[in-house]
Amino acid sequence: QQVKQYGVWKAKAVYWNTSQWWDENINESTKDDPDYLLTDIGGYNAYLGMSYNEIGTLARSQHKCQGFGGIIERGTRMEYFKHLAGEHCKLSFFEGHQRSWKDLAGMEIEGLFSNLLDGFSFLDPAQNVPALLDILERLEAMPASALRDEKVTYCREIIQDCLGLYTEVIGDDYSFVMGDSLALHLNVMNRSSKKVDLKEVRFTSGQVLQYNETLSTNVEWSKALKIVVRAAPSTPFWLENPHTTLFQIDATKDPLFAENPPTLAAKIVLEIDGRTFEYTVGADYKWRDPAYGERRRPLVAAPEFTASFEENIALSQPNQRKVIQVKIHSFKKNLEDQLTIKVPAGWMVEGDKQSISIAAAHGEATLSFTLIAGPNASRGTLQLQNKAGRALLNYQEISYDHIPTQTLFAPASMQCILLDAKIVPGKIAYINGVDDGLPKAIRQLGFDVDVFEVSDLAKLDLSAYRSVVLGIRIYNVHEELKNFNDRLYAYVEEGGNVIMQYNTAPRGSDGTKFGPLPFELSHERVTEENAEVKFLAPKHRIMNQPNKITQDDFKDWVQERGLYFAVKWDEAYVPLFSWADKGQEAVDGALLVAPYGKGQFVYTGISFFRELPAGVVGAYRLFANLLSFEP
């Protein structure tokens, strides 16, 4: 698609954006070095009233889940680019490639732009529309190209903004079921004194509504209507098909899109000064939130109902009976159907057919059935079907203030896994860091898990617990945890077991003391999930009790081995594993164990937060050993 749109091109130079992370003296070492191009990214944009690095640090702080929030920067900020191949740039990456409107479309259009900017009316932007229409005519006369199409679109949008044109399509609900009648409100407003006529509205579902009405100044034109839309459930196009390492995208979908096109959209056709303009708007649902005011989300197509499990895997010992719950969500009124459960070979189910009756749209019901693992049960997928035998979908939603609401409809299924893992039973205290879903996985092993926040440590009786697990990045997101370190260390000294999962340390730091005995964190990681593992202390208790850990326990891992390993540690710590990515030096700080008083302290950068939710049996067996500490 890119070649068709932009033609073929070849990279003329390759540069690496290096920094003080790799060279603390880079300010001095790059002076007068022709292999380095220095660029100040802290320039000030007077139109925006912001520096570019100010915009950048605001954007970086939107990367919430990795804790990338930072202090806003303003002013000079040098970036260092090391030449690796090709041509050398002396002053800028863009030298010799600057283009003007004169180069693109000739002197005449550059003069039109100059005149427009010199006399631009900010108080009455509609006065700029005649000049913009002249520019649009010249742009449309340019030879066809991706650049020409882009500039035409921008010019049309500027004309829309200058006229204060507002268009929206609003649904009565955030979802609709395929084939049902959908209630909509179409709203259009011209907030300028210039004459604008509404000609027609074309929906992507096929309906075309003819109008020939002049929009009154600053008065909303509104129509209520009902249409029938036939659309597949709204799911990101790259997640529609099963995938492992690569997304499988249908040939009908454009992989260059960053997101799905709207499930339903309308093309509003207007006439301005005798010219036809088409503006496309996606259908939304909007509602009043008492705290935030107006809220919006895109309209989504949905099946009649969905089914979801509380957990996406079921771990069972042979002949173990497990009660599984399924939450049914109805997207229509007066739902009457049936839930049918299909289990993999060697598994049995009690309650495999259950009736569903839900009166209200978005009503929910919870159904339960009992899953039994036979002695020779195979690992496989439990599937859910409706009365007609069609596979049911699970509904997932991501909703944050800083992004549009994301929806995913995926097959409603559960992995059934026969697990041979012993534990020493007991209570586990899990202290939340960043939400990682691990408490559910620990319960699958058979432990009794209580989940707490860091603030609970002020009064929590730790002696009631066999082990205390600290959630991932807990020291990074809860600085107040350091105030409770002495309580944790005292618990260990009296015979407790603290398992600290990975945390990050800022580059250049001298190594924060996280445990009762010092160790220093690094940015070392092993990203190859099948990297060969070497056992450094094969006779250690964690390697043998209650489960004998073997090389087989490191098969079928997902995504990586681990990250943010320790790099230096007190001699009391025992490293258990060594591994490396191909071509890299081996690292030994993935799992450290130290006796302390009567108890034990563990630091692990192993990605249990990935492996356990994915049902990796060996990771469960290893984690069972970590939790089953006996003083």
Q: In what order do the strands lie in the sheet with 467-470?
A: 448-452, 427-431, 467-470, 497-501, 599-604, 591-596, 574-575
Q: What is the pLDDT of residues 398-448, one digit of tens each?
A: 998 888 899 999 999 999 999 989 999 999 999 999 877 899 999 999 999
> Which segments within 204-274 are labelled E, that is strand?
208-214, 221-228, 265-272
Task: State the pLDDT confidence band at 504, using cuts at 50, 70 and 90.
Answer: confident
Residue found under tokens 């009316």: 121
- Helices 129-140, 107-118: crossing angle, 10 deg rounding: 160
Q: What is the pLDDT of residues 279-293, one digit of tens each?
A: 999 999 999 999 999
Residue 593: pLDDT band by 50, 70, 90 thresholds? very high
Could you tell me the pLDDT band of residue 512, with boundaries at 50, 70 and 90?
Answer: low
Is 316 in contact with 417 (CB distance < 8 Å)?
yes
Residue 6 pLDDT more than 80? no
Phi, psi of 387 (to 5 degrees): -60, -35
pLDDT of 301 strictly over 60: yes
Asked if residue 604 lies in contact with residue 626, where contact means CB atoms within 8 angstroms, the answer is yes
Residue 483 is encoded by which pair of tokens? 């105030």
Q: What is the mean pLDDT of residues 382-386?
A: 97
Whether a cis peptide bond, with omega within 30° of 0, leads into 546 is: yes
Q: What pLDDT, in 10s, does the model give residues 38-81?
A: 999 999 999 899 999 999 999 999 887 777 788 999 999 999 99
Per-residue pLDDT, averaged over 178-192, amounts to 95
Find out whether 542 and 491 touch, Cβ atoms under 8 Å: no
Checking if the pLDDT of 609 tops 80, the result is: yes
- Max distance between CA atoms of the chain, in angstroms, equals 87
If pLDDT is split at 50, 70 and 90, which confidence band does 147 have? Answer: confident
Find tokens 């997902």 and name the residue. 558
Q: How many CA atoms lie within 13 A of 561 on its CB side?
A: 26
Average pLDDT rounded to a whole number, residues 178-196: 95
Report in angstroms the alpha-carbon separations of 202 from 169, 186, 268. Answer: 12, 12, 7
CA-CA distance, 53 to 63, in Å (whole number)?
A: 16
pLDDT at 507: 53
Percent of the chain with pLDDT over 70: 98
* pLDDT greater than 70 at residue 506: no
pTM above 0.75, yes or no: yes
The domains located in the chain, with CATH, are: 13-86 (no CATH), 101-163 (no CATH), 165-302 (2.60.40.10), 305-418 (2.60.40.10), 427-627 (3.40.50.880)
- CA 58 to chain centroid, in Å, comes to 18
Least confident of 168-172, 204-208, 211-215, 311-315: 311-315
Q: Is the pLDDT of residue 136 over 80?
A: yes
Render pLDDT for 524-563 as a digit per residue (tens, 0 to 9): 999 999 999 999 999 999 999 999 999 999 999 999 999 9
